[in-house]
Amino acid sequence: MLRGALALGSVLFVLLLLELVLRALGTPHFSQQKLRTRYDGFAFVVADALPGESGPPHTSTHFYHYPAGHTWYTRYPDDPRGYFEVGARVRYALNAEGFRGDDFPLEPTGFRVALVGDSITLGEGVHLDDTFGRRIERALREIDPRSDVLNFGVNGFSTAHEAVMLERVVAPYEPDVVVLGYTLNDIDGNPFGALNEELEELSSSLPWIDSPSHAINFISRPFWSRSVANRHRDLMLSLYESDAWNTLASQLGAMARLCRVRGWTLIAVVFPDLSFLGEPYAFDAIHRKLAALFGELGVTSIDLTAMFRERGAAELRVHAMDAHPNEIGHAFAADALMPVLAPLAKVRSP
C-alpha cells in the first residue's frame, strides 16, 4: 500500500510540475483552440432554399450569401508566421454584391473569369491580394488589361450551393470561364452539420478533454487530435462510397451542361485535404475518382495534390489550427491555372 501511495504521489507531483510549467510558458489550453478560428462580425443572409428544404442555413443546403458591403474577420490564437493583421486577424471586405473584393461590373469589357467555390476559393485566412483569384487576375491583365476575375466563393458552400450559385447569380455576369474550386468536403450538402455532429459526439465521449487542468489537457490533446482525424477520414471515405457520390455527379453534370449551353469553359481545380496530405495520402482514391468524373463530363480538371505534397502540408497551412491553404498554396493554384487560362485569354483578347 505504501508503494502504491508513493507511486500515486509521484504521478501527482509530475502533473503538478507540468501544470506549473505549462502555465508559466503560457501554453494555450486546448478548449481555447477547438475552433480553428474565431469569427468577428461573421453573418449570412438566407435566400431561397433549394427545392424541398427548410431550416437554418448552417444545418441545411439553403442558398445563402454574405450581407452586401459587410466586413468580417477571422481571428487566430497567434501569428507565428507574422502574416496576419494586428490581432492575428484576416479581413474580408464584401462588395455591393455581397462577395469578397471590388464591386462586380455586370457587363464584361474583356476576358472574364468567375470563381465558384467555398472558403478556399473565398481565401479564408489569406489576404485578398494573395488569393489565387487576385493572382490570376494580375496575370491575365498582362494579356488583356480589361480582364477581370469575379470571386463568388462563400464560406461553407458545397457543390449543391455552387450549382445554384452558378445558375442564379453568376450567369448574368457572362463569364468566359468558370473556375470551380473543389474541396473534398464539397460532396457534403450539409457542410456545417455532419462533421460537427461527429465532433460533438466525440467530445461527449471524452469529457476529460475539457479539464481545466493544463497538464491533463496537454497530455490528452494527441488522443483528441487522433480521434478527430480518424472520424474525419472515415466520414469522408464513406461519403464518396454512398449515394452522396451520385448526387455530386448529378450536380457537377448540371454545372457542366449549363456551361456548355452558355458557351463558357468550365475548369475544376481540386485541392487536397491538408490535414491528411502525406505519404500515404488517405484520399488518393477519391482524387482519382473525381478526375475520372470530370473527364467523363468533358471538364478540364487540375489536381493540386502532387504540387502540394512536394512542398508539404506544414508549409501550406494558414495556421496550425487551420488547414486552409495559405498564400503559398494559393500561388500554386494560380500557377497551375494560368497555363490553361492564358491561351483562352489570348483568343478572347483583341
Q: What is the pTM of this model?
A: 0.83
Radius of gyration of the chain (CA): 22
Q: Are 182 and 117 in contact (CB under 8 A)?
A: yes
Q: 172 lies in a domain?
A: yes
| pLDDT of res. 219 | 58
Kindly report the CATH number assigned to the domain that includes residue 169.
Answer: 3.40.50.1110
Q: Which domain holds residue 118?
A: 32-193+236-348
Torsion angle in degrees (nearest 10) through CA of 189, 121, 119, 309? 90
178-235 confidence digits (pLDDT tens): 999 999 989 876 544 555 566 556 555 555 555 666 655 665 565 555 666 777 788 8
* Cα end-to-end distance, the chain, whole Å: 90
Sign of CA dihedral 89, 181, 138, 155: negative
- Residue 90: name the closest of 335, 328, 319 by CA: 319
**Average pLDDT across the chain, whole number:** 81
pLDDT digits (tens, 9 = 90+) for 250-286: 999 999 999 999 999 999 999 999 988 877 889 999 9
Residue 48: φ, ψ to 5°? -65, 135
DSSP string, 153-177: --TT--HHHHHHHIIIIIGGG--SE
Do the domain assignments include residue 274? yes
173: exposed, middle or buried (C-beta count within 10 Å: 0-12, 13-18, 19+)?
Answer: middle
Residue 211 forms part of a structural domain: no
| Residue 111 maps to a domain | yes
Is the omega angle on the peptide bond into residue 280 within 30 degrees of 0, that is, cis? yes
In a domain, 1, yes or no: no
- On whether the CB atoms of residues 217 and 32 are closer than 8 A, the answer is no
Residue 251 domain-assigned (yes or no): yes
Range scoring the smallest mean pLDDT among 60-69, 199-208, 230-239, 325-334: 199-208
CA distance 325 to 314: 10
Torsion from C-alpha of 94, 112, 259, 265, nearest 10 degrees: -130
Show Cβ contacts of residue 319 under 8 Å, excluding neighbours closer than 6 positions: 36, 37, 76, 77, 80, 125
Grid cell in block for residue 67: 450581407
State the amino acid at position 73 in one-letter form.
Answer: Y
Q: pLDDT class for 54, splitting at 50, 70, 90?
A: very low
**Has residue 323 been placed in a domain?**
yes
- Is 60 exceeded by the pLDDT of residue 47? no
Cβ atoms of residues 140 and 345 within 8 Å = yes
How far is the C-alpha of 325 from the C-alpha of 186, rounded, in Å? 16
The span from the CA of 93 to the CA of 101, in Å, is 7
- Region 131-138: mean pLDDT is 98
Please state the domain count of the chain.
1
Compute the average pLDDT of residues 168-179.
Answer: 95
pLDDT band at 58 (very low <50, low <70, confident <90, very high): very low
> Which pLDDT does position 269 carry in this prediction?
98
Whether 340 is covered by a domain: the verdict is yes
Q: Which of the 8 DSSP states describes residue 50?
A: P
In this predicted structure, what is the pLDDT of residue 33?
45
Closest CA to 149 of 164, 161, 131: 131
